[in-house]
Amino acid sequence: MKSTFHGLETFRRAINTQQTAIQTTGHNIANANTPGYSRQRVNLTPTEAFPSPAFNKPMIPGQIGSGVQAGEVQRIRQAFLDTQYRGENNKLGYWKQQHQALVKMEDIMNEPTENGIANMMDKFWQSLQDLSVHPEDAGARSVVLQNGVALADTFNYTYNSLLAVQHDQKSQIEVQQNNINSLLRQINNINKQIAAVEPHGYLSNDLYDQRDLLVDELSNYMNISVEQVGSGGLAKDIADGRYTVKLLDEHGRDLGVTLVDGSRLEANELHISYDENSGLVDGMFIAKPRALEGLEDVKDLKDRGGVFHFASLEDFRSPGALMASIEAYGYFGKNGEEKGLYPEMMAQLDLMVHTFVEEFNKVHSSGWSLSEITAGEKANGGEGYQFFTYATGGTGPNGDPFGTNGNIKGAAQRIQISADIYASLNNIAASGAATGNGGIPLTEAFSGDGSNALALSKVKDATLQFGGTRTNVQSFYQGIIGEMAVKTSEAERMTKNSQTLRDSVEERRQSISGVSLDEEMTNLIQFQHAYNAAARGITVMDEMLDRIINGMGIGGR
């Protein structure tokens, strides 16, 4: 026989369950603007029907429902969309960081403008042509000197500005390194909290959201994958468990590096090492906590256990903001060559300046200056005057002083007008004494001759050897600027494309996980009506029980 109180219990369960649903809806509404929050729902399931199938079951027509219960409070989220988002996020982080570095470089190169290197070179060539027409004019010589100084200063300023931004890139790398290590530690700490909750049969939905938000942020710096590790105990099947975060390359292949170990509940740390001479990145370490104990120099990690070492960024190859920053700042390739956006740009400027100065000085020293014509002999033991020279100091990648063993690093930074030219305008060699009319050798130079000044102005069109390229100085510089423009355009295009793809995935993710206030208000009304109906049912059952208890069995009194 059914109990008279069966209906009362059914409505009581309904009230408790709908109240839980209303509280969960309120939690969703309260966190509608919380970054990374995923909406939650109560999984409503019917309670066990009465009676249970057994030999002593009561003889009634069939099983009767006993109400509803709140199963789990589950967050609504799709792991597939999370994986897609993180894959697009690291691409966006890479291209956005590279684009920013290239835009800064474009601002420094400042081409084409009146203050750029190209325009200053044009002014310098023009002043030499003017000098060839008036070789004895002190004003024309002064203009050559001043334009030469302006050209050298422009090279100096451009190189030093590139160097300053490069140093800023290093500071940014260090900030990113600290952020990455902080994120790894935070993810591991949340792993520990989840590992303490899940074995008791609870779902740590808010902790899951916090951890996923951290993982999303980490994916901006590098390409990663996430593996779930069960917490054991009474953990539910739908529990997310602990996260193991691993490092991937640009093709999504596992690099064999674990950043956060969900099984051991420990976070590894990333440390970047720099070359002592050049300051460029020469390695990267992923170290376990025990390997970092008592560490004074990052390079000492090579000799310790529990450390994964990338000897070159070419081995790292995990796209993201970190790799883009290192590529901009500079690093050593597998063969020991200097690579990177800024080192390569500065190396091209050095090659341009060194090749140009070498040819220009060669032509200048072959001519005759007014002071040499007056003295009747070539200066400096017959070698003549150098127009450009370099400031002393500076070393190459191997510590070689500037000008030795082919070290031309810093040529654009150190170019200057020679002390002889500064000392006297008459030391500018405008006269040529190679041949006269009809190719007849001249016995001596004369002050009215401007043939060497004209030859100096034609250095701009001379075909020179720039590394493995034969071209003139202007075409070489145009090639440098053109290559930079192409890279910037590509980075801008890829940034926009990556942004569009990531935003598209985020929109799909928010359509599933995001909180819609309209939907939550609808649910709130629905649960409220269900709660009110259950309460009305209890009132009905109360009246029935009152009739049974107080109104029955009083006949004949």
Residue with tokens 């030795």, as numbered in its chain = 404
* pLDDT value at 555 more than 90: no
Say what the pLDDT of residue 357 is. 95
Residue 556 pLDDT grade (very low, low, confident, very high; cuts 50, 70, 90) = low
Among 125-129, 251-255, 313-317, 351-355, which stretch is predicted with the lowest mean pLDDT?
A: 313-317
Phi then psi dihedrals of residue 441, to 5 deg: -60, 135
Say what the pLDDT of residue 125 is. 94
How does DSSP classify residue 318? -
Q: Which residue has the higher pLDDT, 440 or 223?
A: 223
* pLDDT value at 437 more than 50: no
CA 305 from chain center: how many Å? Answer: 29
Q: Is 266 left (phi over 0), alpha (psi -120 to 50) or beta?
A: beta
Q: Are 8 and 538 in contact (CB under 8 A)?
A: yes
**How far apart are alpha carbons 187 and 218 in whole angstroms?**
10
Percent of the chain whose pLDDT exceeds 90: 68
Mean pLDDT for 93-119 is: 92
Q: Residue 450 is encoded by which pair of tokens?
A: 């401007």
Residue 376 pLDDT grade (very low, low, confident, very high; cuts 50, 70, 90) = confident
DSSP-assigned letters across all residues of 477-523: HHHHHHHHHHHHHHHHHHHHHHHHHHHHHHHHHHHHHS--HHHHHHH
Say what the pLDDT of residue 7 is. 83
Instruction: Report the chain's C-alpha Rg in angstroms.
Output: 39
Count Cβ atoms below 10 Å from residue 264 Cβ, excluding itself. 15
CA torsion through residues 115, 487, 502, 104, sign: negative
**How far apart are alpha carbons 287 and 273 in whole angstroms?**
13
Say what the pLDDT of residue 394 is. 66
Say what the pLDDT of residue 174 is. 95
Say what the pLDDT of residue 399 is. 64
Say what the pLDDT of residue 439 is. 42
Q: Rounded mean pLDDT of the chain? A: 90
Three-class secondary structure of residue 288 per DSSP: coil
Residue 50 pLDDT grade (very low, low, confident, very high; cuts 50, 70, 90) = confident
Give every CB contact of residue 152 below 8 A, 6+ residues apart in sequence: 388, 415, 416, 417
DSSP-assigned letters across all residues of 236-261: -TT---EEEEEEE-TTS-EEEEEEEE
Q: Is the pTM of this model over 0.85?
A: yes
Say what the pLDDT of residue 294 is. 80
Q: Residue 456 is encoded by which pair of tokens?
A: 């100096």
Mean pLDDT for 119-137 is: 92
Residue 557 pLDDT grade (very low, low, confident, very high; cuts 50, 70, 90) = low
Residue 39 pLDDT grade (very low, low, confident, very high; cuts 50, 70, 90) = very high
Q: Residue 353 is encoded by which pair of tokens?
A: 């300046």
Percent of the chain whose pLDDT exceeds 70: 94
> For 469-481, what is each residue's pLDDT tens digit?
899 999 999 999 9
> For 412-436, what is each residue's pLDDT tens digit?
999 999 999 999 999 999 888 654 4
Say what the pLDDT of residue 440 is. 38
Mean pLDDT for 540-557 is: 80
Three-class secondary structure of residue 447 per DSSP: coil
**How far apart are alpha carbons 452 and 432 in whole angstroms?**
5
Say what the pLDDT of residue 442 is. 46
* pLDDT value at 144 more than 60: yes
**How far apart are alpha carbons 70 and 21 in whole angstroms?**
8
Q: Residue 162 is encoded by which pair of tokens?
A: 């590139």
> For 235-279, what is each residue's pLDDT tens digit?
999 999 999 999 999 999 999 999 999 999 999 999 999 988 889
Mean pLDDT for 105-116 is: 87
* pLDDT value at 127 more than 90: yes
* pLDDT value at 438 more than 50: no
* pLDDT value at 405 more than 80: no
Neighbour-count burial of 546, counting CB atoms closer than 10 A to its CB (0-12 exposed, 13-18 middle, 19+ buried)? exposed
Say what the pLDDT of residue 371 is. 87
Q: Which residue has the higher pLDDT, 113 or 42?
A: 42
* pLDDT value at 383 more than 70: yes
Mean pLDDT for 460-475 is: 91
**How far apart are alpha carbons 414 and 159 in whole angstroms?**
9
Say what the pLDDT of residue 363 is. 93
> For 152-194, what is each residue's pLDDT tens digit?
999 999 999 999 999 999 999 999 999 999 999 999 999 999 9
CA triplet 245, 251, 256: central angle to 5 degrees? 40
> For 472-528, what is each residue's pLDDT tens digit?
999 999 999 999 999 999 999 999 999 999 999 999 999 999 999 999 999 999 999
**How far apart are alpha carbons 132 and 125 in whole angstroms?**
11
Residue 397 pLDDT grade (very low, low, confident, very high; cuts 50, 70, 90) = low
Mean pLDDT for 20-47 is: 94
CA torsion through residues 392, 393, 398, 399, sign: positive
